[in-house]
Amino acid sequence: MTLLTPSHPVGPAIIWADTQPLLNGAGQPAAEATTLLDAGCYVVAVTAFNSAAFPGEPNTQPATAKKSSNPPYSGYFSTYNRTTMANRVHDLLTAMAFSRTLPKVSEVRLIGRGDEGPAALLARALAGKAVTRAAIALNHFDFDQVTEPTDPRFIPGGRKYGGIYGFVPLMEGQTLIMGARETGRYDLARQTPGVTLEPQTRSPAATAAWLLK
C-alpha cells in the first residue's frame, strides 16, 4: 500500500485501485493523483493481490483439486479459501478502514480502473455508507468473460446470481460506473438510486473532477 499525504488535508481520503501505478519512474505522482492531492485529499493506493507488482509468494489458486484437468476444478479450493478476486476486495476494504484513521478524514471515496475495476465495484458494494462516492471503470467486464477458475477475476457464483451488476443494488451513495456493458442485471443496476452507468470511460482528469464534487 502507498500513502500520499497532501500539504493541507481538508478533503476525503481516496482509495486508488488501478492497474496503472500511482507513481511514475521518477517517483512522482500521476497527474490525476496530483489533482487529488492539491484538493487536500489523501491518496491510498493498494497493490493488487497476486499481481505482478504484489510482493511475496503468489497464491497459485489450484485449478485441479480433482485428478482431472478437463475441465479444471476449483471447488475444493474456493470452498475453504478466498479466490484472488476475493483477496483483492478484502484488501480494498482494509484500506478503507485504515483511511478512516487518517487525520482530518471525514469520508472515504474510491477510484477503480483497469483490471482493478471489478474488485473495486465489489468492494464498493460491500462497503455501504463507508464509501460516499466512487468512480469505477469496468472496461465492459462481466463474469461471462471468465472461462477458467484460474482467472484472477473468478469468484464462485459470479455469473449465476446476476453477474457484476447483481451487486450494484447493494451500493449506497453516488457511484459512477464507466465502460458499462448491457449484460446480466444491467437494467436493475440502472434503477439503483445514486448510480450512473456510462458506456464509455471518462478521461483521468474528468474522472478526478467527478470524484471531487
What pLDDT, in 10s, does the model give residues 60-119? 555 444 445 555 567 777 888 889 999 999 999 999 999 999 999 989 999 999 889 999
Closest C-alpha to 117, from 88, 97, 95: 88
Max Cα–Cα distance, the chain, nearest Å: 58
Q: Count how many residues are written for the chain.
A: 213
The Cα–Cα gap between 49 and 62 comes to: 16
Pick the CATH number of 2-211 from 3.40.30.10, 3.40.50.1820, 3.10.180.10, 3.40.50.300: 3.40.50.1820
**Residue 176: per-residue pLDDT:** 98
Decide if 84 contacts 50 (C-beta within 8 A): yes
Give the residue ranges of DSSP H helices in 58-113: 75-80, 84-99
pTM value is 0.89
Helix (H, G, I), strand (E, B) or coil at 195: strand
Residue 31 cell numbers, joined: 497527474
**Residue 64: per-residue pLDDT:** 46
- Tell me, what amino acid is at 190? R
The Cα–Cα gap between 46 and 44 comes to: 7
Q: What is the pLDDT along the chain (213 residues), one digit of tens a residue?
A: 889 999 999 989 999 999 887 887 778 888 899 999 999 999 999 988 877 666 665 555 554 444 455 555 677 778 888 899 999 999 999 999 999 999 999 899 999 998 899 999 999 999 999 999 999 999 999 999 998 888 899 998 888 888 999 999 999 999 999 999 998 899 999 999 999 999 999 999 999 999 999
- Tell me, what amino acid is at 30? A
Phi and psi dihedrals of 132, rounded to 5?
Answer: -90, -25
**Residue 77: per-residue pLDDT:** 78
DSSP state of 197: E
Sequence-separated (6 or more) residues with CB below 8 Å from residue 123? 17, 89, 92, 93, 96, 110, 112
**Residue 65: per-residue pLDDT:** 45
Q: What percent of the chain has pLDDT over 70?
A: 90
Decide if 136 contacts 105 (C-beta within 8 A): no
Q: Domain limits of the chain?
A: 2-211
